Structure 1
Amino acid sequence: MSSIKINIFNIRLALIISLSVLLGLITFIANPIARAENPDALKPSQSYVVNDYANILSDSSQQHIIDQAKRFQATKSQPQVVVITVNNTDGMDMKSFTNELTLRQVWQAGKKGQDNGVLIVFAKNNGQNNVRVATGTGVESSLPDGKISQLLNENRSQLKSSDNTQINQGLMKLFDEVCQNIPTDGQAKASSKATKGLSLGWILLLVILFPLLSIFLINKLMRRNKNYASNGHSSVSGQSSWWQWLLLGSLLNSDSGNRHDSWSDSDSNGFGGGDNFTDSGGGGDFGGGGSDF
């Protein structure tokens, strides 16, 4: 009997241990805070600029980041500001974690040669809420470490909150302030479609002057024809008036058609919707500049 009791006890003990291990695995899978992202395996999203692995950013915030990326794309220098949220850095400090990312080509944001990329990395780290802003070598002068530290401290209360909504707002404020300090060197060159032919200014000038000049010339011809008819050549006046009005109408119609085409061309140069936005790193160099808490 005693051996049977021991066997039953061992079976129960084995079941308890198995259930404990199973519950631990379920908790590990269900609770993303416990997991750590590997910087050597982390892959950019389709948009590249939004990588919300910790599920913090709202849809509107993600779209806001993409819209800013589109505006940056339309400038000469084409800087990039990438936002990354992770659950855990597995004991790595934020500088080491971010440096590991920038050593990989896929995370080298910014235009190659100008090195004007910025990474904003947020890690929950079991409630510590660590943030680092890493700058490419080309923007370190406009975003020195001291300036970044100031921006982080200004948004500390929201970034350190336990509420994801507050963290989201803090990240967006930090993102906007970082973007405002990045030089863009003006707008990019016009598209090849826009540069063909006359500039918009000349087109508008012709739109205004051409019909006025046409009316002036035709009116002058009509007056001359009227004087000619008053000298006894009435038949000529009747024969010529119809083609003068026909010429005036065709000139005005062709002019209005040209105006429509020019505005139609300008309306077709917009970006696609945010859902279809794709981007990748431009190969910018990161020299280790930045700040974090």
Structure 2
Amino acid sequence: MNRNLILLFLFFLINISFSQTISKKQSDSLKQEIVKIYREVYWSALPKQKGWVNDYEKILSDNEEKKLDSLISKYERETSIEIAIVTIDTIKVAENNFEALSLHIAKTWGVGKKGKDNGILIAFSKGYKNIRIQNGNGIEKIFSNEDTSKIIENDFIPEFKMGNYYQGLTNGIIKIMEYLRGRIQED
């Protein structure tokens, strides 16, 4: 059985069993400890990448996931640049560790071609209202943090603010692709 499910089951079992006999303070402390353990297990046993789009917050429909995956697959075939999207639920990471987890996912999944390091991981948490783009070393040479920030602010965020996560992801990815195509042609 999946470790995450076991921990979640234990969390609820303990919560139900002891909720009447322990104080609220003790209960909150216990809940925090269980969440901490759950996050540690998640970190050490990340789920396998199932495609270019990994929506663990369930903010996209199956059709939207397929469209984004198709868009990214076509781009990867044309350029060899790999782009992965992961949405991360707040139960899986503390807000102050969001960036570290996104980097850990990028490295663990190996986004980008070996030897080219040409991967981009877009990590998003609706719950934390946070987005992070992790660029491989090969991409950083042509796509700076400043460029990344501009695309986040101008292409992802406006749609996210309106709750249009699919459209925000689509706009941002298309803008990244256009930008990189232009930079690749210049070289």
Q: TM-score, normalised by structure 1?
A: 0.45
- 1:45-194 aligned within 5 A: 45-47=49-51, 49-75=52-78, 77-88=79-90, 89-104=93-108, 107-125=109-127, 128-154=128-154, 155-161=156-162, 163=163, 166-183=164-181
Q: How does 1:206-285 map to 2 (within 5 A)?
A: none
Larger Rg: 1
Structure that is richer in helix per residue? 2
Amino acid at match of 2:157: R
String of CA shifts for 1:135-185, please: whole Å, max 9, x gaps: 111111332100110111113233245x3xx12221221122122223496
What CA deviation, in whole Å up to 9, does each residue of 1:26-50 have, x standing for no partner?
Answer: xx9xxxxxx8583332223432x11
Q: 1:179 to 1:60 in 2, by over 3 A?
A: farther
**Deviations, residues 39-80 of structure 1 (Å, cap 9, x unaligned):** 332223432x110000012233211222123323433x5111
Per-residue deviation, 1:121: 0.2
Q: Which amino acid is 2:45 matched to?
A: A
Q: Compared with structure 1, are the counterparts of its residues 58 and 179 closer, same or farther at alpha carbon in structure 2 (3 Å cutoff)? A: farther
Aligned partners of 2:111 and 2:120 also within 8 Å? yes
Q: Which runs of 5+ in 2 are unaligned?
A: 1-16, 32-37
Which residue identity is paired with 2:68?
I
For the aligned residues, what is the CA RMSD?
Answer: 3.3
2:67 counterpart SS class: helix
Q: Distance in 2 between matches of 1:15 and 1:144?
A: 51
Q: Separation in 2 of the partners of 1:177 and 1:167?
A: 15
Aligned residues: 154
Structure 2: how far apart are the matches of 1:117 and 1:41?
21
Report the counterpart of residue 10 of structure 2 in structure 1: none
| Residue 40 (str. 1) matches residue 38 (str. 2) | no
1:131 CA displacement: 0.4
Closer, same or farther: CA 17–59 of 1 in aligned 2, 3 Å:
same
